Structure 1
Amino acid sequence: MASSHGGEIVNRTTQETRQEKRREKGLLVGAGLEDYGESGDVPALDELAELAATAGVTVIGRFWQRRAKPDAALYVGKGKVEEIASAAREEGADVVLFDNELSPRQVRNLEKEIGCKVIDRSEIILDIFATHAQTLAARLQVELAQLRYTLPRLKRMWTHLDRVTGQGGVGSRGPGEKQIETDRRLIDRRLQQLEREIEEIKQRRERQVKTRDEELTVALVGYTNAGKSTLMNRLTGAGVLQADMLFATLDTKTSDFELPNGKRVLLSDTVGFIDKLPHHLVASFHATLEEVRQARLLLHVVDASHPAAEGQIETVHRVLHDELEVDEAEEVIVLNKIDLATEPAALALLRERHPDSIAVSAVTGEGMDELIARIQQFDERSRETLTLMLDAADGKTLAELARLGDILETHYEGDKVRVAVNLPKEVTPHFRRFALTS
């Protein structure tokens, strides 16, 4: 979040976010077609509760309204807002979290009616990302996403600053259009700088990924907290951070391991996805997700113990195909955490819906042999053996073959050399002109 004071942008950096972090008390609000009656149990808000806990908020109440479409002014109805405002006063709530993206107008109206800070799902996800960003690349990408979120909300944030500092009177309009326009220009300038820096990171990563053409590149993808990092450690012993919390991993980490046939695998652990992931956040993290876009095989890790596992699979597919345009890589669904699955029928249904999936436990090691065998099968299917006839003096082509594939046999015949080589199928067209016909 950013605001402006005295012509200077005050941006919520990662360090500031950590300093400000305390256990705030919050209310959760959502709306949809589900009808939960008066029980107070609202499963649809369970994930928002996890996000709140990760962001350091103690949830003190949940509110749900059954409605077909949101109210243009308040998202939920006037009566429900009055109910939320009453609970906020009685319980001493610091913040109200909505399980949807709100417009600047809706946030402004809600804060006026409820009398405390209102944050939507996108803003809380951005706050978590800011807290967990460790590397320069992650921090730049988070800041880019934050500023893209901030730009259309400048007037609301100035009004909120006036209210918090006591500078604004009843009906205050905030700082005026001139100051807001100054802020907008400053943010635009910073956005352009961030985009340039991130593009440089993206190009550098593209070059790094392209140097791995001869390698078997595999990327772990999946819903947040599905156990990707634990699986990474099980396969490679890389020692990456494992934590039972949302978005523990923001930076792509790559390590290697060897298949039984001696083939080296480069395995990348990537940021997890989540339902209603802000578009500008995915767009900002394209540089970090370059390994996913270039991987030859995707291991789609699923928390098989989660009651919403099927919906999480659909969310990941939507992000991969619609946001990242990843359509060509082969995918293996890995049903993880089977050691925690307490409903055998639910696990059996998942396996029935995804018959080519592999059930594993990254913690206990169960199913890992089958997973490794599947990766090796993919590698063998994706390679082709060619017999080539080259000029013996063509050292450049021979060196390229050795770099890209495995030389199986070499026979010199005068000024020619016959070479049997096993290559990835994507590079074989380049060498087919040298192939001997049988």
Structure 2
Amino acid sequence: MLGSEDGDSDARTVKTLLALDAAGVRQEVQLVAGVRDPRNLAAARLAGGANTQVVDVDEITARIMVQTCLHAGLSTVYSDLLSFEGEEIYFRPPGELAGSRFGDALTALENCSLIGLEQDGKAVLNPAGETPIGAGDRLVVIADDHGTAPLPTSAGVDRDAIAVTGRDGPAARRVLVLGWNDCGAAIVTEFDRYLPPGSQVTVVADDPRVTSQVSSLSARLGNLALSYATEDVTRRDTLDALGLGSYDHVLILADDRVDAQVADSRTLLTLLHVRDMRGDNGWRHSLVTEIARDCDRRLVEVTEVDDFIVSSRITSLLMIQIAENPHRYGLFADLFDAGGQEIYIRPAEDYVRLSAPVNYATVVAAARAYDEVAIGYRAAGAALGAAGGGIVLNPPKSTDLTFRPGDAVIVLADGALRPGQGAPPAGARRAEHA
């Protein structure tokens, strides 16, 4: 149950939940509802009752946009996990893994990526490596099909190929947000949660909401210096004056004040200017664009190394996933929470030696030295809009790989540590090289 984007959407959602309750439907089926204003979450949950999962649509959208902005390629990962066409999250009985520890079991399955455990009805992503797997527990895995049975692997771990080292602390970032909509304030708030002190976010939009909302936000931010300008970002001269080359990340937002077709026309005009400027000057900032209609995404994604987010599609897929299996609600809530477990795309050289053949089981073992769970990899040089965008989720453990500069490993890691922060735990590092 996903309402429209107008101001009365949440009220209609609550009314619908009450009507379903009055009709006796609420007790018979599992409901999933979306609200757009977090102030209406409590009312929707009261109206829906125990059998209803309520999703804060704008908050989830903001977190996906920010995470994707900071990690190029994440939109492809999320689309794959949420759609019913690629790899998905499933729950499986432990089988022969009962009695083993979570950390040891990570390299034990050939065709599934173990990412968590469900114990006593509660699913936890990336628990401590020492956590025992009980016979009554369920494995949380990424697999390519609902009927896929976990198979043991014979792939061994080449510990000599593991190159786990310390990581530098996170550097301050500069982010440029072009355009504005009702998610804008939530997006800036999420950037403040994700980025280290000294980071800067600049908002440029021809939108009267920016002045009041940005002024209000500035007083509540702890890590960011926030500035804004009210300019038309579809104009080339506006963009030329912004110094795009000085930014690490550029995010283009769809205008929600106009029809979706009109919004995408304006967004694509801005995008084409930014792409042209980036190509002429050799700038390497990440570029994430919010598209209102999925059909418009296909117009511009073919050869460019950019991320595109169709927010309504992502949210709809998420709600369908939860409706199919309510146990997924807590997992996705954890994934999209800045303080929970999150998906990161990190350089392959953080884990294994480059230009040397390794199997994927070795990559998984190397990631565990950081208390992370490897779920796939990204090959450099592939356009994110191309099929797969160079991203491979859940490869077989026996897959032979040779990583090159620019390649990356996709991992599940503690969101309390920002990207690139800190060295791996000393105990874990010693254990991997024992």
| TM value normalised by structure 1 | 0.26
| TM value normalised by structure 2 | 0.26
Which protein, 1 or 2, shows the higher relative CO under an 8 Å CA cutoff with sep ≥ 6?
2
- Structure number with greater Rg is 1
Higher helix proportion (structure 1 or 2): 1
